[in-house]
A and B are shown apart, each in its own frame.
Chain A
Amino acid sequence: MRIHVRKYAALFTLALLLSGCAGRTELQKYEKQMLYFDTVISISFYAGENGDRLMEHCVQMCSGYEKIFSRTDGASELYAVNHRTEQKVKVSPEIAELVTAGLEYYEKSAGRFDITVAPLSDLWDFKSETPSVPADEEVKEAAAAVDASKVHLEGDRLVFDSEQTMLDLGALAKGYAADRLKEYLESEGVRSGLIDLGGNILTIGTRPDGEKWRIGIQKPFAGRGETAEVVEIADQTVVSSGTYERYFEKDGKLYHHILDPDTGYPADTDIQSISVICDSSLMGDAVSTTCLALGSQKAEELIRGLEGVRAVMILEDGETIHVEKDGDGGTAHTAGSEDE
């Protein structure tokens, strides 16, 4: 009898200990949808009891970046830079970093990716309810004001060669913000999470079950959520850019929102959508927009020259191309219309 009691007591203690340990490492899913950067963003991650505090901090970070990078908010730092009175402006490290990245891709894309495209995008105004083709002279005039080579970074100061130059960091801000959010969550011990900033996806580790995250690529010009293909990633980012995101049709011609800084008109591209998979969301943002403007041939060359970057391109004719760095599997062409 005595022995039995002891046995049960030992088992009970063991059970208690086990449940206690499990309780401490038990992770919970925290998820929040918000409106920032002109789009719907969603942050979800697995954490312990401190999850609410972590989420609160993420929200503050987003709101902080919006106050720096918004082009329309009259109180933002970028607004002040664009409405400067002197051509030498002291800027925050955040703006300096994005301008540096922007100028790097300006070089890499031979001028097709341009962070000074603001006068043109304002003129075309693809966000308006009734977008229209502007007058040709207006397009030429706006295009003349676009030139990223007139912006220089000297230490913590931006130097502009022209008063007309205006910055638009919208093509990079979401990628940058996603990277910083991930960095913060990881520093707080988060090992599994998914950051979705308006379709820019950045993952932290794997799914809680240890599997890779499955990310659907939007089928161009189809209903929202219709997938062309699913990519599996762990701890990486997928960023897409496509002509279907914002466009309008006029006289049977499609006008999309990726503008060619030289001509002032939508870039002549055979790519409908490109999804770039790599480690940094900022890089994904820059590479995807650049590739879309370049067209499939030059895009392939660019991606093959970049370390740790792969891409899925869907072309106008329906062909899907998978591009990887030389030696990492090369390029696979798949004929289109492989609809499920």
Chain B
Amino acid sequence: MAGLPIRQEVKMNKRRNMVILMCIILAGIVCGTLARLSSEREGTWAVVEVDGNEQARLYLDQDTEIRVGDEKQGYNVVRVRDGKVFVSEADCPDQICVREGGKSKNNEVIACLPHKMIITVHSEAEEAGQKTDAYTW
């Protein structure tokens, strides 16, 4: 490059800077899109816990069915259908968890006191736009 006139060298540098800048912007767009896609994937999920221990994490955009516990200690069948999580079957005496129905909103809870089971719905997007922090009842 030593042979080039000064003015031309400056021009080349400018072009190179432009290319680098474009690359950075492009990389930014790609990273941003990827991050958004992956967070949308994580959108809404339900955590199933028994006696404080996490048993499963179910994404609500995917229909599934799991069974927690056993015939001896008592069991709950947890299902995901049409973006909602619910207990379809359980051998607890009060059946409150089954009657609770489907849940899909951030912080909604299904509890089975006899089996010490809790299902909590988490949604990052909803949490950000939430109007209230808690409910009193």
Q: How far is the CA of A214 from the CA of B94 in the complex (A)?
A: 33
Q: Which of A33, A38, A199, A207 contacts B133 (CB 8 A)?
A: A207
Q: Mark A37-77, 1 if CB is under 8 A from B, else 0.
A: 01110100000000000000001000000000000000000
Q: Mark A220-231, 1 if CB is under 8 A from B, else 0.
A: 000011010010
Q: Which of B109, B111, B132, B137 contacts A230 (CB 8 A)?
A: B132
Check B131 for interface membership: any CB of A closer than 8 A: yes
Closest CB in chain B relative to A205 CB, distance in Å: 13
Asked whether, in the complex, the Cβ of A216 is within 8 Å of the Cβ of B135, the reply is yes
Check A109 for interface membership: any CB of B closer than 8 A: no
Asked whether, in the complex, the Cβ of B136 is within 8 Å of the Cβ of A201, the reply is yes
In this complex, what residue of A is CB-closest to B108?
A225
B side interface size, CB within 8 A: 20
Asked whether, in the complex, the Cβ of A218 is within 8 Å of the Cβ of B132, the reply is no
Asked whether, in the complex, the Cβ of A238 is within 8 Å of the Cβ of B120, the reply is no
Closest CB in chain A relative to B92 CB, distance in Å: 11
Check B85 for interface membership: any CB of A closer than 8 A: no
Q: Which of A40, A129, A199, A240 contacts B111 (CB 8 A)?
A: A40
Question: What number of A-B contacts does a CB cutoff of 8 Å give?
Answer: 68
Check A116 for interface membership: any CB of B closer than 8 A: no
Interface members, chain A 229-288 (any B CB < 8 Å): 230, 238-240, 242, 245, 275
Check A35 for interface membership: any CB of B closer than 8 A: yes
Asked whether, in the complex, the Cβ of A240 is within 8 Å of the Cβ of B137, the reply is yes
Q: How far is the CA of A129 from the CA of B120 in the complex (A)?
A: 24
Consensus secondary structure, chain B interface: loop
With A33-B118, A59-B52 given, is the CB distance from A216 to B134 under 8 Å?
yes
With A35-B118, A59-B52, A129-B94 given, is the CB distance from A225 to B105 under 8 Å?
yes
Q: How far is the CA of A35 from the CA of B53 in the complex (A)?
A: 12
With A33-B120, A35-B113 given, is the CB distance from A199 to B137 under 8 Å?
yes
Closest CB in chain B relative to A249 CB, distance in Å: 17
Asked whether, in the complex, the Cβ of A213 is within 8 Å of the Cβ of B111, the reply is no
Q: How far is the CA of A245 from the CA of B93 in the complex (A)?
A: 20
Q: Chain A contact residues (Cβ within 8 angstroms of B): what range?
A: 20 to 34
Q: Mark B112-137, 1 if CB is under 8 A from A, else 0.
A: 01001010100000000001111111
In this complex, what residue of A is CB-closest to B109?
A40
Asked whether, in the complex, the Cβ of A275 is within 8 Å of the Cβ of B113, the reply is no
Check B95 for interface membership: any CB of A closer than 8 A: yes
In this complex, what residue of B is CB-closest to A230?
B132
Asked whether, in the complex, the Cβ of A218 is within 8 Å of the Cβ of B133, the reply is no
Asked whether, in the complex, the Cβ of B134 is within 8 Å of the Cβ of A201, the reply is yes
Asked whether, in the complex, the Cβ of A238 is within 8 Å of the Cβ of B136, the reply is yes
Closest CB in chain A relative to B94 CB, distance in Å: 6
In this complex, what residue of A is CB-closest to B111?
A40
A-chain residues with CB within 8 Å of residue B133 when the two chains form the complex: 194, 207, 213-215
Asked whether, in the complex, the Cβ of B95 is within 8 Å of the Cβ of A227, the reply is no
Asked whether, in the complex, the Cβ of A215 is within 8 Å of the Cβ of B116, the reply is no
A-chain residues with CB within 8 Å of residue B89 when the two chains form the complex: none
In this complex, what residue of A is CB-closest to B93?
A129
Asked whether, in the complex, the Cβ of B113 is within 8 Å of the Cβ of A239, the reply is no
Highest count of chain A CB atoms <10 Å: which of B109, B111, B135: B135
Check B49 for interface membership: any CB of A closer than 8 A: yes
Asked whether, in the complex, the Cβ of A227 is within 8 Å of the Cβ of B52, the reply is no
B-chain residues with CB within 8 Å of residue A213 when the two chains form the complex: 133-134
Q: Which of B116, B131, B135, B137 contacts A242 (CB 8 A)?
A: B137
Q: How far is the CA of A286 from the CA of B32 in the complex (A)?
A: 52
Knowing that A33-B120, A218-B135 are A-B contacts, what are 9 other residue pairs whose CB atoms are under 8 Å apart, sorted by A's residue number? Answer: A40-B109, A42-B134, A59-B52, A129-B93, A201-B135, A214-B133, A217-B135, A224-B135, A225-B135
A-B complex: 6 closest residue pairs judged by Cβ atoms: A218-B137, A199-B137, A216-B132, A240-B136, A238-B136, A214-B132
What are some 12 contacts across the A-B interface (CB < 8 A)?
Answer: A35-B111, A129-B93, A196-B134, A199-B135, A199-B137, A214-B132, A214-B133, A218-B135, A218-B137, A227-B132, A239-B136, A240-B137
Binding site for A on B (CB under 8 A): 49, 52, 93-95, 105, 108-109, 111, 113, 116, 118, 120, 131-137
